[in-house]
């Protein structure tokens, strides 16, 4: 029996309440997307949530990290994703230094992101509790993010697993509880030991979304370009490659270029004909020219 899920075009979009209601009932699948075409594909595939991640700085813009991504860039890509996603809940990352400086900045910038792109929730890295409380009170749902937080990778000593020591693990447990109390509707747990992720998932009543955090989380998220083999950068250990589309795309373009140079493309099947009478008139005009 197939376990493949399909969704009708008119099916109601998922909400934050649907995500909250999945806790202890079913696993949640989340992937990133940065444009309308990708969003349309993953939405049709039946994912629950689409993350417009600031990872677009590396994946789409060729930068070394995520910290240089601007609010305008996030709005641009989030707006495109919203044109493609119909059912999935779309969540957008708040870029580096758009919320850290205080509640006023967080409200202003999150308000712009939601209003101008149409996304239905935002994600903040770290335990910025006053900002989270203010956003949720203003009606903007917030997804938390603890463990490895890429925007602060320099302070964390690079892209390393967090919470391996008991003391550090206890801090993350407390942060997860604090994020729930501040109003987060879910929490991303990135690059932490599986036993710690399991303990956090059991402690909080909101869904946990793991990425390099083991199977006990309430859901999982992966970068689309990583899982499809479209990103040339080093893939983390927790990434599973479900396809090697990058290699397939390269070969397809190579075949195309060779056919163009060899004169075998386009063929008559890829060209448009002309009515014989009109062609005769055209040829007559050319002779007269």
Residues whose CB falls within 8 Å of the CB of residue 104, separated by 6 or more in sequence, listed in order:
none
241 contacts 57 by C-beta, under 8 angstroms: no
List, by residue number, the catalytic residues: 190
Contact indicator for 120, 90 with CB cutoff of 8 Å: yes
What is the Cα–Cα distance from 246 to 232, expressed in whole angstroms? 8
Q: Is 27 annotated as a binding residue?
A: no
CA distance 277 to 143: 66
Give CA–CA dist 2/45, Å, rounded.
14
Using the 8-state DSSP alphabet, how is residue 182 labeled?
Answer: H
Burial of 228 (C-beta count, 10 Å sphere; 0-12/13-18/19+): buried
43 is known to lie in a ligand binding site: no
Q: Which residues lie below 8 Å from residue 75, measured CB to CB, with a gap of 6+?
A: 112, 113, 116, 117
Among 48, 28, 52, CA closest to 38 = 52
Asked whether 146 and 176 are in contact (CB, 8 A), the reply is: yes
Dist. CA 130–CA 127, nearest whole Å: 9
CA 94 to chain centre: 12
125 is in an annotated binding site: yes
Give the residue among 218, 280, 282 at the shortest CA–CA distance from 24.
Answer: 218
Bind-site residues: 54-55, 93, 123, 125
Bind-site residues for 3-methyl-2-oxobutanoate: 54-55, 93, 123
């Amino acid at each position: 029996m197939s376990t493949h899920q399909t969704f009708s075009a008119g099916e109601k979009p998922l909400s934050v309440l649907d995500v909250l209601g999945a806790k202890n009932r079913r696993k949640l699948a989340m992937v990133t997307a940065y444009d309308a075409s990708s969003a349309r594909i993953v939405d049709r595939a039946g994912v629950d949530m689409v993350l417009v991640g600031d990872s677009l700085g590396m994946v789409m813009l060729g930068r070394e990290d995520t910290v240089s991504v601007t609010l305008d860039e996030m709005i641009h890509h989030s707006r495109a994703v919203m044109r493609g996603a119909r059912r999935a809940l779309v969540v957008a990352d708040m870029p580096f230094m758009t919320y850290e400086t205080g509640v006023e900045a967080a409200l202003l910038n999150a308000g712009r992101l939601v209003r101008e792109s149409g996304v239905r929730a935002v994600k903040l890295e770290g335990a910025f509790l006053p900002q989270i409380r203010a956003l949720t009170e203003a009606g903007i749902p917030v997804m938390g993010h603890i463990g490895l937080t890429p925007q602060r990778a320099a302070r964390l000593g690079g892209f390393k697993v967090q919470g391996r020591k008991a003391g550090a693990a206890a801090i993350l447990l407390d942060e997860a509880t604090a994020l729930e109390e501040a109003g987060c509707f879910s929490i991303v747990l990135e690059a932490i030991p599986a036993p710690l992720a399991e303990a956090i998932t059991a402690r909080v009543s909101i869904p946990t979304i793991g990425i390099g955090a083991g199977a006990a989380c309430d859901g999982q998220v992966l970068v689309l370009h990583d899982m499809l083999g479209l990103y040339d950068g080093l893939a983390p250990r927790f990434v599973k490659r479900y396809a090697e589309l990058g290699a397939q795309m390269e070969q397809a373009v190579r075949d195309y270029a060779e056919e163009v140079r060899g004169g075998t493309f386009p063929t008559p099947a890829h060209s448009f004909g002309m009515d014989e009478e009109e062609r005769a008139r055209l040829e007559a005009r050319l002779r007269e020219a």
